Amino acid sequence: MILCANFKANKTRQETRAYMAVVESFVSANDISDTIIVFPPFTALDHDPRNVLIGVQNGYPVKNGAYTGEIALEQLEEFGIRTILIGHSERRHVIGETQEQIAHKFRFFAEQGFAIIYCVGEPLSVREEGHEALMGYIEKQFEGIDLSYPDLIIAYEPVWAIGTGLTPTNSDIESVHSALRSKTPAPLLYGGSVKVENAGEIMALENVDGVLVGSAALSANDFCEMIAQAVELNTEIGE
Ligand code: PGA
């Protein structure tokens, strides 16, 4: 399983350090082989990871240059960052990144060999139009994206489920994930209001290879509890 914690614009550097200490000692004490990735804010990237990967929530697709307010490859490389989140719904819908910009960013970081967690997901109005409309919407979010990129992970995150406490039904998640599975060999994460109470059952669904968690992962203990649920599933399916 792959479990990701997306901090968004939460936590200071000091808080991130304390968080990582809890998660890293949990992972080593329990000999966990699942992939754990934490995405702190830019200010807290200076961590020397032991058994948990640190990824970045965003990056500007240039080596360096005159791009006020942005962080480019050179600065990420200084912290040894090799993992990036691209296409998150907040970047699409709050910050206003276009598919063209997102695809450009994807190509740049793929050329650099980054592991890319690429997010897709539909707004509620599209979901209400049914499965075909939903998949058509996601198809557009794949424009310019190489779905056979070897270091790709896809995260399906319905916009209306992010930070709202609402989640699709398990069978809705399965039907989107099985449609995604036919398009890409990449591992498929589900994200959107994942929490301790539902993480285990979501990870147990067909074609779900892990979770991308926002608010509920801000508690290190809760995130560890979700990791423990993944370990239990591995044992159940004899991995
Ligand atoms: P949430 O966020 O878990 O708070 O819904 C998920 C995400 O935005 O990745």
Q: What is the pLDDT of residues 210-236, one digit of tens each?
A: 999 999 999 999 999 999 999 999 887
Residue 198 has pLDDT above 80, yes or no: yes
**Candidate from 6, 166, 211 with most ligand 1 atoms within 8 A of CB, to mutate:** 6
Averaged pLDDT of the chain? 96
Of 44-53, 65-74, 80-89, the poorest mean pLDDT is in 44-53
d(CA 23, CA 221): 8
Number of compact structural domains in the chain: 1
Radius of gyration of the chain (CA): 17
The CATH code of the domain that includes 107 is: 3.20.20.70
Tell me the CA–centroid distance for residue 164 and ligand 1, in Å.
9
Give the range of the structural domain holding residue 130, as residue numbers without chain letter.
2-238
Any atom of ligand 1 within 6 Å of the Cβ of 191? yes
- Measured on CA atoms in the order 213, 157, 179, 185, is the torsion positive or negative? negative
- pTM (two decimals): 0.97
Tell me the CA–centroid distance for residue 129 and ligand 1, in Å.
23
> Do 9 and 217 contact (CB within 8 A), yes or no?
no
The pLDDT of residue 237 is: 67
pLDDT band at 16 (very low <50, low <70, confident <90, very high): very high
pLDDT band at 48 (very low <50, low <70, confident <90, very high): confident
**Candidate from 7, 156, 162 with most ligand 1 atoms within 8 A of CB, to mutate:** 162
Helix pair 196-203, 220-236: axis angle to 10 deg = 30
